[in-house]
Structure formats: C-alpha cells, structure tokens
Amino acid sequence: MVFLASLGFSQDNTPPTPQSTPSSDQATQEKASTTAKPGQKKEGDEEVPPGRKPKRTEPAPPQPLPAAAAKPSEKKPADPLTSADTYKGLRLRSIGPAFVSGRVTSLAVNPFNRAQYYVGVASGGVWKTDNDGETWTPVFQNEGSFSIGDVKLDPRDPAIVWVGTGENNSQRSVDYGDGVYKSEDGGKSWTNVGLKHSEHIGRIAISPKDSNIVFVASEGPLWSPGGDRGLYKTSDGGKTWKKVLNVSENTGFAEVVIDSDDPDTIYAAAYQRRRHVWTLIDGGPESAIYRSVDGGNTWNKLKSGLPTVDMGRIGLAISPLDHNMVYATIEAAEDKGGIFRSSDRGATWERRNPYDTTAMYYGQIFADPKNVDRIYLMNVLIRVSDDGGKTLRNLGERYKHVDNHVIWIDPADTNYYLVGCDGGVYESFDRGVNWSYKNNLPVAQFYDVAVDNSKPFYYVYGGTQDNESVGGPSRTLKVSGIGNEDWFITQGGDGFRSVIDPEDPNTVYAEYQYGNLTRFDRRTGQQIGIQPQPGADNVPLRWNWDSPIIISPHSRTRLYFAANKLFRSDDRGDTWKAVSPDLTRQIDRDKLPVMGRLWGPDAVAKNASTSFYGNIVALAESPQKDGLVYAGTDDGLIQVTNDAGGNWTKYDKFPGVPNMTYVSRLLPSQHNANVVYASFDNHKMGDFKPYLLKSSDNGRTWSSMSGNLPENGVVLAIAEDPVNPQLLFAGTEFGLFFTLDGGSHWTQLKGGMPTIAVRDIVIQKRENDLVIATFGRGFYILDDLTPLRNVNAQRLQQNAALFPVRDPLMYIEQRPIGGRRGHLGATYFAADNPPYGATFTYYLKDKFKTKKETRQEQEKKQPGKEGAQTTENNGKNKKAEDQKGTAPVSYPTMDQIRAEAEEQPPTVYVVISDASGTPIRRVAASNEIGINRVSWDLRYPPSELHTPSPDEADFGEFFQPPTGPLVMPGQYSVTLESRVDGKTQRLAGPVQFQVNALGAEQMNEPDRAALHQFQQKVARLNRALTGAVQIGGDVDKRLTAIRQSLRDTPGDMSSLVSRTDDIQNRLRDIMRAMRGDTVLRHRQENTLVAINDRINQVEDEERFSTGRPTQTHIDSYNVAAQQFGEQLSKLRQLLEADLKKLEDDMEKAGAPWTPGHVPEWSDR
C-alpha cells in the first residue's frame, strides 16, 4: 500500500517536485478479483519496461481499502473489549431531517416501469423506489464506499444495476470511491467488480445489444495522479477489464456514450483536472473528445471545430432521434467553451453558444427523446434550448431547489421530468411549470453539529451542503416522532457551524459560506448579521468556506470567530476585536505547482470554488483555563495563546504528519488543561491516512493516537467524554470509532449506521447522548452513551452484566396527526424517537443455547475416527479424516432427541420491580452475545393477551395492541434473568433507577395516585371480563358439539336436549349482558349498554391522561363492576355445575364424546 510521503517545504515556501503513483491498469487485461495468482499482475501494479523506474511527478494517491477494513492482525480470539461485535446492540438512531435533502448525481429509471428508479446520492449511497418515491429503500449503504458517481441499469435487464463510486464532480466537498459495483438482483446484493483505485467514476455506458459489454469512464483521483484512470471496457460483465483509452496519469475520462443504433460507435471525453486545498485547475491540454467506430479497439481524437485552447470537463449527448447529431458542453480557457453540435457523428463541430455550465460542478447535457433540437443543460438553473443550442431559456424552478446535476425525460411523455439537484429529487408533470419535491429522502450533507440545552428534549443544529443551516429536536413528545415540520432554518446558503447559548437555547449563532455569521432568535425567527468587517485600511479578510466559531466555555456572551485572524466579541457579536495577527503561513498559492507545473491566471477554472488560501479552520478554547485558545490553519499550523490573544506560539511540525496538512479539528481536554487533541486531513493531497495526535503540554510536543484506525479513513472529527478521559470518539471518512484506552485501540461503532463520513461529533452532557453529523445521511444519535463509559475488561469477563439505567421520563405521548403516521400516507416522513420509557443495557458473554445447538456445537469439535473408510455415492472410498469435523463420535439417544424436540427455547428477560421489591413486569430480551438493549414502556402488563388479526396490517394504526396502565413515578429496579431448561436464574442486578414525571403540574402526585389506583381496578375488571367472554365463547362451541352428539345418540335424548336449550339460552343472556346484543347491533338497532362497552370506554378515555379519573368514569366502573359480578356468578354456575352435569349424563348415555371434558373409560 502506497501512501503520501511528507510534503516538505523549503525556506522560500517552494514545494519540492511532487511524486505520483502509477496507474494500476497499464496492462491490457486486469482481473477484477482482489487476489491475484502468483506472478499475475494485480490492481495497483504498473507495467514498467526493464531498467526504467516508474515516473513520479506528484504526491502519490493512497490505495483505498473497503470502508470497514482495519490494519491486518494475527488470527486470534477477538478481545471482547475492543471487538466491534460486542457493541453491535448499541444502535444509532437516525433523526433525519428530510425536509432538506442532499446532492443527487445520478438517476436510473427502469425503462419498462417509470415508477421504479434508483437515485445516486453524491455522498449518501444509492436509494431505490418501486412506487415513484412514495417510499425509498437504501440499497447501497453497507459497501466499501458511499459516494456515487453514476448509476446505470442494463437496458436489456433492469434488474442488473451498475454503480460507479466516487462522485463525478470536482467540487471541494466530494468524497472518493472504491471502484465499480454490480448487482444482478435489483440492488439486493452487490459485487465490487474492479477499478478499486479509480476514486471517481464519471460515467458508465452499457451496450444496448450485449449486456456483457460495459464501458466505464474513470476520472481517476481528483487530488493526485495515477490510479485506475482512463476509459475501461469489459466484455464479460465485469470479470476482467481492459483499458482501451489512456491519456496520462493526470487525465481521466468524465464521459462515455454509446450510439444505441450502432454500439460500435462510442464517444468519450477526456478530463484533465486537479484540486488541492488551495486551488482547482479544471482543465488542461489533455482534455479532448475521442471517438471509436470499432467497439473501442481504436480511437480518434476529434478536433474539427472544437476549441484549440486548454479544455476542461466535457459533457456529451447523442440525440435519440438522429444519431448523427451529437451535442457537447465544453469548458475551455479564454472563454472558448460553450455548447457545440456535430451533425456528422463528431467529424465536424459547430459552436452554437458560448454558454458556460460551471463544469466542475455541473457540466452535463441531455438530449430530448422526442425533439432533436431540444437540449437541457445542468447548472444552477436548468437551461433549455429548442434550436440546437443557439438560444437558451430557463426551464423554470419555482419552489424548487437549484444546482441541478441530472434530468430524466420520459420518452413516452416528455412533459414529465425527474431531476436530481443539490436539494434532492424533484419531478414535474408539466415541463417544469410546477414541481413536486420528494421530502422523504434523508440524505442531508452536514458539515457540523451542535446541541443546545432545551427542555425537556435538547435540539440539534447543523449546517448542510447547499441546504441551509437547520435546527430540530432530538426527540419529541409526539408518538409520530420527529417530522419534517419540527425542523426550521436558522440561516440560508451553504450552512456551516452553529453554536447555541448554553443558558438561552433561543439564541443561535449560524453561518453560511465565507464567514457570513448571523444571530438567530428561535422565539421570533428574527436574525441579524454579525460578521466582523475589515478595518479602515480595507485589507480584506480571508474567510474559509467553513469558518470556525465558538462560544467561550467561560462566558456565554463571549464569541471567538476566525478568518485568517482571530476575532473576539464580548457582547454576543455586536462588536468585534481582532485578537491576533494573521496566523497562517501567508503563502502565495499561485506559486505552488499543480500537476508538476505552475499555472497562469488563464488556466481553466483556476481556483474556482476554492477558499482563499491561508485561513483558520479549527478553533477551540480550553474548558479548564480561560484564555487558552488553540487555532489551526488550512496550511498546517497550530497557534496557541495563553492570554486570550495577547501572545501567540506557532507550531508547524507534527510527528508523522506531512508538512502543511489541513488541521481539521482541535479539542482541548475537559479533564486536563495541558492536554489537547488535533486531527489533520490530507486527503486533498491524495493522502487518506488518519492523523490524530495528542499533546500533553499545550502543543509543544505531540504523539500519534491513530492506533488501528483504518488507513484509508481521514479523521474528520473528535470528541472526548466529559466523565471518562480515556473514552474518545473519532469521526472518519468511513464511520464512527471509539477508544477506551486513550487512543491505543479503536473500535468501530456501527450500530446500524451505514457506511458514511462522520464530519462532526458532540456529546450532549445532560443526557449523555452522542450526536453525530454525517455527510450524506443526516444526523445520528447514540442515546445514552454511558455503557461505553462504564464498560471494562472485568465487566466483560462476567457471564452477564447490567449497566446503569438512565432515569426515564413519564408522559403521555401526543398524537397531533392521530397516530404514528395518521392519515398522511406513506410519503409522510418522521424519524423515530427513542423507545418510550426505560431502556436497559446489558451484556451477555455467551448465548444461551438449546440442547440441539449445544449438541451440534460439540459435534463440530469432534473429529471423525482416524482411518475410517466411507463410501460415497460414486462408489469411491474416502477416509473419514477428509470429513474431519462433520462425523460425530456418538449418535444421540432417543431420549436426547425427544428432549431436544420438546424443549422450550432458552429465554432472556428483564424483570422490573417496584420500590418494595415486588416484580411488576417481565420484558423479553435478546439472547445475543455482546451488549444488548431492551426497553420497558413504564406500564403494567396488559390485562389481555394480544392475538394479531389479519386485518391489522390493512388498517394500520386503528388496531393497537392492548397495554396496561402506567406505573407511578418513583423508584424501581431491574434484574436480568434467564430461563433455561425450565430453570430460572438471575444473571445480573438489581440496578436501581427513578421514573420521573414530566410536567409536575399536569402529573401531580395525588391525582396521579388516584388515577393509578383506579386504572388498576379497571385493568383487573377488564382482565376478568375478557376471560369470561372468552370462556362464554368456548362454552357456546361446546354446546354446539353437544347438540350434534345428541342427534347422533340412539334413544330418547329429549331431556338432555331440553337441558341443553336451557343452558344455551342462559348463556346468551349472560353474553348479551357482558358484550352486547350482537344480533340487533348488526341490524343497526340501538341496544342496551353492555359491561364490555362501559369498561372499554373507561379504558380508552383514560389512556391519554394522567389526571384524576372523572366521576363519570368512576360511576361507569361501579355499574360495570356490580353487573359483572352478577353475570360472573351465573357463568360459574352454568359452567361448573349445570354444564358439567349435562356432560356427565351424556357419558352415562353413551353419547359421542364432545370437547371440553375428559371421557370416562373402563375395560370392564
């Protein structure tokens, strides 16, 4: 594996000649598998003539690994303390949002079913819908990459899906991929079929006549040379690849299109570009259009009529109506680009319009399927031409997000558009006059996260890529969860840092790009701009795209905000004072080489969408010491002041970190004023290593604490537990990690979270929640991180353990829309609240196994008898030693087999007891190894069993399983128990916890106690009533069987029949009293109120209240209780005396046996 060496700068700030890594595909054939045979060339090798070393001109790109891959280790039993499997039960909860979405780079629509399509998200995987976006399934979320360049469906078989990973744009926030994936089952499973070092796939093209022939335009690494860069072809469905067109280590391919009439005619666009922290060069002399007419065997560069200056990104489209007509949108130097058209298959070109599509971020052109002269160009606004590009008009984007990347026009209905943009997915049925937004796709790209101290639940804030800065609740009182309507915008534009007054959660500081800071009042929605301005000398400040701001931990009105200088305000941003000089290296970025040379001001898109180089990007103040401030710069410096900016100390060398590496985060310790953590991000030099350092002397010396973090995952964020200084968290390009030993060993915390970049982490101290910002899947929360705080080797050596319980809040969940989704349909988006009630976290060292599982496990350890002969179906003898581990030494006895079949499976559960130690509830729990979680809804057991009805799924929330009444607030305890082979054993506990009422004014103790006592009485009555009704129904069935038996019995049975009729009539009277007159109700007649009616109404009307029961409810209960007592006595008499006597007399009469009683028998 090759990684970027330290980039050292001489005293005059001139960097040395960069180095490059050779492409892995100079040979004509490449195996797609990851393992090569001895002597076989693998991906990552270069074919070099004997005696010549590989050419090196620029920093080498890394060789990406799968996201979850860690450094190699010896095969030995995993330490449960550091094994990710131990913690898989700690689930992270997605809270959205979806009212803002994220950048969509690709759409792939099933040509036979418009309602089914795939959405490729720039940094959020691939999502599939089968119903035009009513619902979505993330079908590509656990692979080696989350960044998507292109998605294509096989035109002959749409169940075959191809995905090129690594966003195809050259914007500052793009993420990298690990090659090409293929699914043959509609996205259910995926195989990486190669080009693993491509990093960015521009386009995939599939032959319309042969599904095995696929072309891939690989742009190659954006930040470094080499890699799997070029145009590739497979003729065997991805098993092997051939590089059919190669330009250089700096130039890949952004586009490839196949003529559907003549698949041997292919067009491809070469794309030379490079981005670093300080610059973008989006073109060069090697960008060009190529054409092949023999299936990719030979290629010609097309020149006639095309720009002769340096070109950048080129988009291509062939008209579906006239395959001679080819369109191109070309980025070029000296304003020579624009819209070009060829009417002779690329032989000659005409410049139709000088329009620039800002190609590094857009650069796509699409041809209308029904009008040869109509084309669509992607840009901030979609531009349309109806005359082959000569004139342009806006498509229309009213009430729609801008920044468009892809459009699909339905060939069967060209009024229909499907568009992917920075705001997600939109569709129009009237050619863009009106748009419908898919507001249920939670793929927001967050740069940062912050939390406030709101009660009862804190709010989460963050800034998104091109979707504003937003805020919303971490949970709600609503049973529906966190809906889109619960979120709000605090600042427009590209959102970045947000900080919230720790004592006044209504004061929010939010910013958009380049330091545009506002103070937002959550109560009123008002906001005021408070960005520091240059002084009277008019020297401009250099703000970063994502400028850091903090509230001092020592004064809530004191702000620090950084450009290339640090500013301080002591009055919430009304006034500012510079408290530092320029803290950067002050390097002239135009003197830094790119692609091995210096570029002049006329270079294609030079420095476009790039922050001015030399600014502060990381900022923090020590919680332990007022005025101890750390500032990190984009050019690799850490500056420290001990006196709030009076004096500064510069540090520019960090062990193992390349010179001038971007400082991504700084984190002073909450426990030790001398300790500070720093993370560095060098991915824009093609170096994906994790750089995470610690200083114990305020920055004078540093040591690495990257430990075993994956070598391809840049560290983007760090957090320190406020209680345990050894518990740290790291957000990387491919997930969330934590360490229990201060950084020596890291463990990935997956918890149901997809492969995704974790850009920021914060701990909400009051709730002990871990809140993370992902770049492409919104916010996630680990509710109650304290198990990680309390886990240790000793605890995990126990057979079982219970962790401390967070005190739960008791309240009545609100139903503003009538239920979880109400009547709002499948498109209604709401993220989950955490489970209502108390959540218990426990650990199991081993799984409790059934007798069968135990036997099978023992058999696996038993070798076959040495030298024993076996005969297989083909008649050949084979030694049993060849079947070692499959042949049991002994066969189980019949009693053992019977015991296995009759055994009740082992169960694990938690038992909740009240303050007196009386058990009040048992809740089933998981029997899985490791840390698990189970929740209790703060209720007693339901008074009746729940038998699911087939209608429940159809009626949704109208059917609710029965629940018991809420317990009283107060002290409770929990134990962990198991039941194995009929024996119950306490495994851990008891652990004490407190149930707290939310809103004492609505839940005062006397009223709550009165309701609690009343609900207990109602529940007991309902339990008995439910049982009595069930028994009555059983008796009715027995009487039906008795009538049939009496009909089949010879002799005079009239007396027994009369007694049966009498019992039947009395039973009907009892049942009418208990459950109502079903006969008349079916005829819509008004009937007498039944006992069941009264008690159900009381239960239903008190279910969502914590107040004292009403007198009406008390009266209803009293009536029901008195009437039920009477009817229960009658039922008992009927069942235990009269029916029993009837059945006994039938036995004497020799009547056929009927269900419900034990027959008499004697052989005399």
- pLDDT per position as a tens digit, 216-229: 999 999 999 999 99
pLDDT for residue 1098 is more than 50: yes
Closest CA to 580 of 566, 568, 559: 566
22-31, 339-348, 576-585, 1110-1119: range with lowest mean pLDDT: 22-31
Regarding whether 933 and 1057 lie in a shared domain, the answer is no
**Same-domain status, 966 and 1102:** no
CA distance 104 to 96: 17
Element (H, E) at 417: strand 417-421
The pLDDT-based confidence of 1079 (bands split at 50, 70, 90) is confident
pLDDT of 20 > 70? The answer is no
Q: Which residue type is seen at 133?
A: G
Q: Region 1080-1086: what's the mean pLDDT?
A: 87
Q: How many other β-carbons are positioned within 10 Å of the β-carbon of residue 893? A: 9
Say if 732 falls within a structural domain. Answer: no
- 935 and 960 part of one domain: yes
Q: Tell me, what's the pLDDT at 874?
A: 47
pLDDT of 402 > 80? The answer is yes
**Residue 1083, Cα to own-chain centre: how many angstroms?**
53
Query: Which helix (H) or strand (E) is 831 found in, with range?
Result: strand 830-831
Cα 871 from Cα 888, distance rounded (Å)? 17
Residue 1022 contacts residue 1091 (beta carbons within 8 Å)? no
Phi then psi for residue 1069, to 5 deg, are: -60, -45
Percentage of the chain with pLDDT > 90? Answer: 82
What mean pLDDT is predicted for residues 151-156? 98
Tokens of 803: 């962790």
Q: How confident is the model over 938-951, as pLDDT tens digits?
A: 999 988 887 777 66
CATH number at residue 961: 2.60.40
Q: Higher confidence at residue 320 or residue 998?
A: 320
pLDDT at 1157: 87
Coil, helix or strand for 314? strand
Instruction: Flag whether 994 is in a domain.
Output: yes
β 180-183/191-194 pair status: antiparallel
pLDDT of 957:
67
pLDDT at 961 over 50: yes
Confirm if 138 and 120 have CB atoms less than 8 A apart.
no
CA–CA gap between residue 848 and residue 851 (Å, rounded): 10
> If pLDDT is split at 50, 70 and 90, which confidence band does 963 have?
confident
For residues 1046 and 1069, membership in a common domain is answered with: yes
For the record, the structure tokens of 74 come out as 């010896």
Same structural domain, 1046 and 995: no
Q: What is the DSSP string of 335-354?
A: GT-EEEEESSTTSS-EEEE-
Write the CB contacts of 1028 (distance below 8 Å, at least 6 apart in sequence).
1074, 1124, 1127, 1128, 1131
End position of a domain, from candidates 958, 987, 1003? 1003
Look at residues 1003, 1029, 1047 and tell me which one is the last residue of a structural domain.
1003
141-167 mean pLDDT = 98
Residue that the structure tokens 């824009």 belong to: 684
Task: Give the pLDDT band of residue 1000 (cuts 50, 70, 90).
Answer: low
pLDDT reading at 1036 higher than 90: yes
For the chain, the average pLDDT equals 91
Rg (CA), the chain: 36
End-of-domain residue from the set 960, 979, 1003: 1003
Looking at residue 1002, its pLDDT comes to 57
State the Cα–Cα distance between residues 892 and 157, nearest whole angstrom. 51
Structure tokens at 143: 């692979």
CA atoms of 956 and 987, how far apart (whole Å)? 38
Spatial CB neighbours of 36, under 8 Å, sequence gap ≥ 6: 42
CA-closest candidate to residue 1126, choices 1134, 1137, 1138, 1116: 1134
Q: What is the mean pLDDT of residues 658-675?
A: 98
Single-letter amino acid, residue 458: Y
pLDDT band at 879 (very low <50, low <70, confident <90, very high): very low
Give the span between the Cα atoms of 29 and 178, in whole angstroms. 19
Q: Are 804 and 786 in contact (CB under 8 A)?
A: yes
Sign of CA dihedral 953, 958, 959, 965: positive
Q: Which tokens in the block code for residue 262?
A: 């003549």
Starting at the earlier edge strand, list the strands of the sheet with 365-367.
365-367, 375-377, 383-385, 393-394
Q: Report the pLDDT value the prediction gives residue 75, as an integer from 0 to 100.
A: 60
pLDDT for the residue 945 = 81
Residue 953's contacts (CB-CB under 8 Å, 6 or more residues apart) are none
Phi, psi dihedral angles at 803 (to 5 degrees): -90, 160
Predicted pLDDT of residue 1004: 75
Q: What is the mean pLDDT of residues 561-574?
A: 98
Spell out the residues 6+ positions from residue 385 whose beta carbon is closer than 8 angstroms to its own: 339, 352, 353, 373, 374, 375, 377, 391, 392, 393
The mean pLDDT of 246-270, rounded to a whole number, is 98
User: Same domain, yes or no, for 1050 and 992?
Assistant: no
Contacts of 520-529 with C-beta under 8 Å, sequence gap 24+, read: 520/490, 520/491, 522/471, 522/488, 522/490, 525/488, 527/490, 527/491
Mean pLDDT of 636-658: 98
The reply to whether 1071 falls in a domain is yes
CA-wise closest residue to 1002 among 807, 822, 814, 808: 814
Element (H, E) at 1055: helix 1054-1075
Residues 102-122 have a mean pLDDT of 98
CA-CA distance, 307 to 303, in Å (whole number)?
8
Domain that holds residue 906: 892-1003
CA dihedral 356, 362, 367, 368 (to 10 degrees): -110
DSSP structural state of residue 382? -
Q: What is the DSSP string of 666-705?
A: EEE-SS-TT-EEEEEE-GGGT----EEEEESSTTSS-EE-
Q: What is the 3-state secondary structure (H, E, C) of 567-617?
A: EEECCCCCCCEECCCCCCCCCCHHHCCECCECCCCCCCCCCCCCCCCCCEE
pLDDT the model gives residue 309: 98
720: enclosing H helix or E strand: strand 715-720
Does the pLDDT at position 689 exceed 90? yes
pLDDT per position as a tens digit, 157-201:
999 999 999 999 999 999 999 999 999 999 999 999 999 999 999
Q: DSSP class of residue 972? A: E
Q: Tell me, what's the pLDDT at 19? A: 36
Q: Is residue 514 part of a domain?
A: no
> Is 1014 within the bounds of a domain?
yes
- CA 274 – CA 221 distance, rounded (Å): 8
SS3 letters for 120-167?
EECCCEEEEECCCCCCCEEEECCCCCCCEEEEEECCCCCCCEEEEECC
Same domain as 1044, residue 969: no
Both 992 and 948 in one domain: the answer is yes
Residue 946 shares a structural domain with residue 933: yes
> Does 854 or 626 have the greater pLDDT score?
626
Compute the distance between CA of residue 494 and CA of residue 739 in angstroms, rounded to an integer.
Answer: 33
Which pLDDT score is estimated for 1164?
A: 72
Helix H segments across 251-333? none
Q: Is the model's pLDDT at 498 over the cut of 90?
A: yes
- Whether 366 maps to a domain, the answer reads no
3 state SS of 1024 = helix
Whether 163 is in a domain gets the answer no
Listed as own residue / partner, the contacts of 380-388 with beta carbons closer than 8 Å and 24 or more positions apart are 380/404, 382/407, 382/419, 382/432, 383/355, 383/357, 385/339, 385/352, 385/353, 388/325, 388/327, 388/341, 388/352
- Distance between first and last Cα of the chain: 90
Q: Do 908 and 968 share a structural domain?
A: yes
Cα gap 169→379, rounded to integer Å? 12
CA-to-CA distance for 421 and 103, rounded, in angstroms?
Answer: 6
In-domain check, residue 1128? yes
How many domains are there within the chain? Answer: 2
Backbone angles phi, psi at 614, to 5 degrees: 95, 70
pLDDT band with cut points at 50, 70 and 90 for residue 37: very low
Secondary structure class of 305 (helix, strand, coil) = coil
Query: 974 with 1027, same domain?
Result: no
pLDDT of residue 864: 56
pLDDT value, residue 956:
65
State how far the Cα of 235 lies from the Cα of 1084, in Å rounded to an integer: 71
Share above pLDDT 70 across residues of the chain, in percent, rounded to a whole number: 90
User: Looking at the structure, do residues 1046 and 1115 belong to the same domain, yes or no?
Assistant: yes
Q: How far is CA 1094 from the centre of its chain?
A: 47
